A and B are shown apart, each in its own frame.
Chain A
Amino acid sequence: MNRRALIALLRMSAIVVFGLVVAPQAVPAEGSPPAAYNPYPPGILPADLQSEIDRVSREVKFIFQQALAEWRALPPPNLTGQPPTLQGSGYDMVQTLGKLMNYDENISVFKNQACASCHMPYAGFSGPIPSVNLTMVAFPGSFHFRAGKRTAQRYTYSPWFPVLQFNETQALFFGGNFWDSRATGYLLQNPDAEQAQHPPVDTQEMGAPDTACIVFRLSQAEYRPLFEQVWGEGALDIKFPPNTEKICSTPGGAAVFGTDTTPVKLSPGDRLLANRAFDNWGQSVDAFEKSKEVSPFTSKFDAVLAGKATLTADETAGYNLFRGKANCNSCHVDGRGTTLNRGQTDNSVTATTNPLFTCFGSANEGLPLNPRNAFYYQTKPDFFGFTPNPFGFGYRDLGLGTFLRSGFGSAPNPNAEWIPFAPTSDGQFQVSTARNVAMAPTQCPTTEAPGPYFQKGFFHNGYIKSLKQLVHFYNTRDEPNFAFPVTSGHCPRGTVERVTCWPMPEVRNNIDMTTGKLGLTDREENQIVAFLQTLTDGFTKPYPNRDTFTGMCMSGGTAATQGNESIIPTPPLPPCVSAICGVAPFPTMPIP
């Protein structure tokens, strides 16, 4: 669909959808959400935040309608065989169900936020609001403007990460989902499915106070029949108490709940059903994320592997640097053979059918603390008596290390044997697949200035604003003339942050030294960026819904200094609070 048609369609659908779909369900039975939570100093929230949230909401509703139509077009289910199987249409059914769930705003506490609200296809299913990616990094939740602490990680190829394991042979962690791997997959044996279970009950995201609330909303969903066809008749036949809507319209963390994580009081049998249905929620979303609509292996690189396309000279040079001088493929494994010397020919074959450009591991790349991160400012109680971050700038993001300690802001670690590995995991974050790192909307198809470009935020804290900067960081982080013992916003006069000045790492423990001083020229950096852009799906066939972005492209400037106008001075940092850095087993060296 071209953009003009899409806009016209959206205009019409905005009216119709509002009238037919949204209005009857948009206001919780117990009333509208209270006034927005806004503990932020001026300038932290982007000026266009509300209008951008509204814009994404329209796009989400559009794709939700698309999914409804796909559901209605499915053939009648044919459950047959032993064990019973939905013959012929089972894959389509569970994936369509997952798609409906992914774009369903009614799942959130105030029925205003879907999973997709922070993960839209045109951004490789990462953050869809350029101004948020540029500034506050974490996306606002259903209760505006609570916000999380990290960038919205891409869905694409996340289902391929294995269950988090400590590999005894390698003495290393592999797998899991999320930046800190806290979605282990230990119970469903599927980290991606367990990942999908976190945001709906995350206090700063979709905000439900009880997993049963998600099931309650599913039981009211228009697509409930599809859920029951896929997961069984009676799967949602749960006797919810009369106060369920009231409870499920109150965000998690509210003082009224105390420490109760199951405020919806169900009989044991109904709780069992609700737990099972919540597992089915995760499994359905995972099915969608694994489908060709999200993870299709349709990049130019895939076409090259199939012998159906040829890399340009710059892309080829970038690829050779990627697996050679720049050593990117030590972690972003490309499944190919050895690095070639001059005069040699690459006759190697792929080690796996579809190289995923990740090693499934974690690393601390030494990113500076990003003072733009909205999390640091949420130090006051909101309307519901919840304070997202009582530690303010005393918070440090230790990533995997904090998860292994079951620490603040992460999730319970389900394996006590892993706790001793926390000190050697501090500061580590998941090595994301490099696939779709460059994905951007059709009408502004690059992440790089001068564009027209779509502003993204890279790494877990969004400190990096372009792929050029990303490669430059790996290349020069440890250059003695660039590495300064300062925080962001305080680079010495005569230097340019992210160009000739890198502030000190937020966590200096366990810094990965595979990169940091690569000796790449400016041109070589650009060639690696060119290669990364060949990993974007949609080359061999259009990437579904990449054209649904209705916002504004950005333009001008250079990729090297992209976003530098948004840098703010980091305030004087208090020491890392004991609730994070004082939890045993302690970090290998003090974290300032």
Chain B
Amino acid sequence: MLLEINGLTKYFGGLAAVRDFNMHIDDGELLGLIGPNGAGKTTIFNLITSIYKPTRGKIIFDGNDITGKKSHEIARLGIGRTFQLNPLFSDFTVLQNVSTSFHLHPKSSLLDIYFNTAKYRRNEAYILEQSREILKMVGLDKVENELAKNLPHGYQKMLGIARALAVKPKLLILDEPIAGMNPSEIDFTLDATKKMQQQKITILLVEHNMKILDLCERVVVIDFGQKIAEGLPKDVRENKDVIRAYFGGERVA
């Protein structure tokens, strides 16, 4: 088990955004997390990556209790993520976005960096090569010198994924990776996701679009901050509680 969440609860004031939520992710799995708007999906992401601190509950990653750790420490342990509203290093080029994200692998000490030692230069050369490889994988190699803020929306989302991959994550968290993309960009992202799946990267993703959910091995459905269903994508789609959550009331077909 790579990630285990036990009794996770988060209150914003009196409102419970997430309540007694339990979930686990196995090694190499592609797990989908779905739910209507405002169900608490992004809150769960932000709790895992410690943008928020949980009110109660435990998050165990790879045998370490990561509840309430700092965001950069969580990245260090091997969780990479993208963001729904997709902030980037917008004044950096595409290549710089990725190479900057290689902060951890390999890590140069401050002294090595400052004195421009052979080790630092070797690291940087390696990082440059790896960054280009990742950009090729997500199809951004042709725009590597563009400023990130000048990219079209779909490319920016792919850049977000490229940046998260630079962390060399054991677990990759994708927050609505294909929202706002056009059909060809969606196809592209699906391909990239399949490739990552083949490389045995464990992925947790939030999405509404069934195209990408059908790639998932397992889907967890939440509503009002609580898990209401779990299972194979096709089973979940027929689950009564899920239909009620999405359409309000039982659908009589």
Partners in one complex: no
List B residues at the A interface (Cβ < 8 Å): none
Residue numbers of A with Cβ under 8 A of B are none
